[in-house]
Amino acid sequence: MPEPVTKLDLVKRLAREAGEHASGPTSTLLQRGNNLKLVDDIDTAYSEIQTYQTTWRFHRKSFSKVLTIDKADYTAAELDITDLRNWDPKKVNLFKLLNDEAPLTHIPLDIWESTYGMGSSTIETGRPSSFTIQADNSITLFPIPNYEFTLRGKYRSRPHQMVDDLDEPIFALYTGWQLSGRLWKTSG
């Protein structure tokens, strides 16, 4: 099994391949000039690799939150989510008791605004049956909850970031990808 590759290893390798200097920087922290560009290039590539891979399961996460009576709008932070990239609108459920869990219908925002975003719909209460994702990535439920229902669902997290010199790419831990030559390749 190959040795783990760290952020510092990747920056040093890029420095060599770019002809910067043979040994590369001794740290990825507090860099300036060309060394800072090397670190930024690795950070950008690492984020882009994760963004393009939509099937990696380690980015799929769940949430579950008891709703507040008479509150229809929830930010990710209010649902205890700190790393939201985007919602999985097909995987949002609501329940009062575990035996009555049911999926909520996702309504695109433009249709929502002309259907539920005006008139008496803005004050109607009951068991939510649908939701929309607002432009700011918050969720709005319809009708407004009249009970402390539990909202449960799935989302995709933002790309992982390597911060310190010895941080390892997360996808190598979960997917079997390894650095081979100049490319990341799957080991399976």
DSSP letter string, 67-112: PPTT--EE-TGGGT-SSEEEEEEEEEEEESSGGG-EEPEE--HHHH
Question: In 41-62, which positions are buried (b, 16+ CB within 10 angstroms) versus exposed (e)?
Answer: ebbeebeeebeeeeebeebebe
In contact, 76 and 172? CB cutoff 8 Å: no
In contact, 142 and 74? CB cutoff 8 Å: no
Cβ-Cβ contacts under 8 Å for 179 (sequence gap 6 or more): 2, 5, 10, 13, 172
- Report pLDDT for 3: 64
Cα end-to-end span (Å), the chain = 13
- Report pLDDT for 55: 73
- Report pLDDT for 188: 45
- Report pLDDT for 26: 83
Distance, CA of 157 to CA of 47 (rounded, Å) = 12
Distance, CA of 80 to CA of 87 (rounded, Å) = 14
**What residues of the chain score a pLDDT lower than 70?**
1-4, 21-22, 172-188
- Report pLDDT for 173: 61
